[in-house]
Amino acid sequence: MKKKLHHLISEELSEKETDEIMGALVTQQMNAELRQRLAHTLKEKHGIIRSAERGKGKIKYLNYMLAIAASITVLIALVFYPNWAGDSPQVLAQQYLSEQPLSHPGTFKGATVVDEQRTQAIVAFNQGDFTKAVTHFKALEAPTAEDRYYLGLAYLKNGDYEQAVPLLVESKTKGKRFTQEAQWFLGLAHLALGNTESAINELKAIGKDEWKYKEAVSLLEQIH
């Protein structure tokens, strides 16, 4: 234990070595707590009591050292791993996506055979059936910029982040209709993929007067 504590506060440890020692200390603490709960159960339910004096000093010392180890583990985790007790960037991205209601503004009156696929894609999208929406958007023979944008969103909401990224990049760079929306969703897509640096760049590019600026600032504060 003393050796582990000494190594833990050393600045020469690699991240892997630090993780291994922290894991060992936490496991030891959990094992000690499990033994205490087991002893309590044996005493209360079965009347089994271990010798009161045997090893009493050692147990007291061990509990003391384990308490110190647990405190040091938490302290180091908070200092070197500030997100250890919080949500990961990927989880944050998924939370924002799940809380973001999406709907296609398209109308269905006067639909013809030619745009039947588009109609079904829009209906599926607005019903939250993004797998079906992807199928119908992809089946369009001559997709518009709007179709491509909503295909990207359907991929995004369906958890297919890698498929969503190029479509959102296209929507952001080609034309101005979906630029701001694509910027925000592209940041979330990169974040969900673990591309934190790319996500930060996209979120920082959102201007004060643009869509989702406040949310972007809040998200940046959480992932820094």
Give pLDDT tens digits for 99-119.
888 999 875 444 444 589 999
Residue-level pLDDT at 19 = 58
Residue-level pLDDT at 42 = 52
Using the predicted structure, report yes or no on whether residue 4 has a pLDDT greater than 70.
Answer: no
Residue-level pLDDT at 44 = 57
Residue-level pLDDT at 6 = 53
Kindly report, residue by residue over 58-73, the tens digit of the pLDDT.
Answer: 444 444 454 455 445 5
Top pLDDT among 119 and 45 is at 119
3-state SS track over the chain: CHHHHHHHCCCCCCHHHHHHHHHHHHHHHHHHHHHHHHHHHHHHHHCCCCCCCCCHHHHHHHHHHHHHHHHHHHHHHHHHCCCCCCCCHHHHHHHHHHHCCCCCCCCCCCCCCCCHHHHHHHHHHHCCCHHHHHHHHHCCCCCCHHHHHHHHHHHHHCCCHHHHHHHHHHHHHCCCCCHHHHHHHHHHHHHHHCCHHHHHHHHHCCCCCCCCHHHHHHHHHHHC
Using the predicted structure, report yes or no on whether residue 171 has a pLDDT greater than 50.
Answer: yes
Kindly report, residue by residue over 116-140, the tens digit of the pLDDT.
Answer: 999 999 999 999 999 999 999 999 9
Kindly report, residue by residue over 135-156, the tens digit of the pLDDT.
Answer: 999 999 999 999 999 999 999 9
Residue-level pLDDT at 109 = 46
Stretch 169-175: mean pLDDT, rounded?
93
Using the predicted structure, report yes or no on whether residue 26 has a pLDDT greater than 70.
Answer: no
Residue-level pLDDT at 72 = 58
Q: For residue 197, what pLDDT band results from cuts at 50, 70 and 90?
A: very high
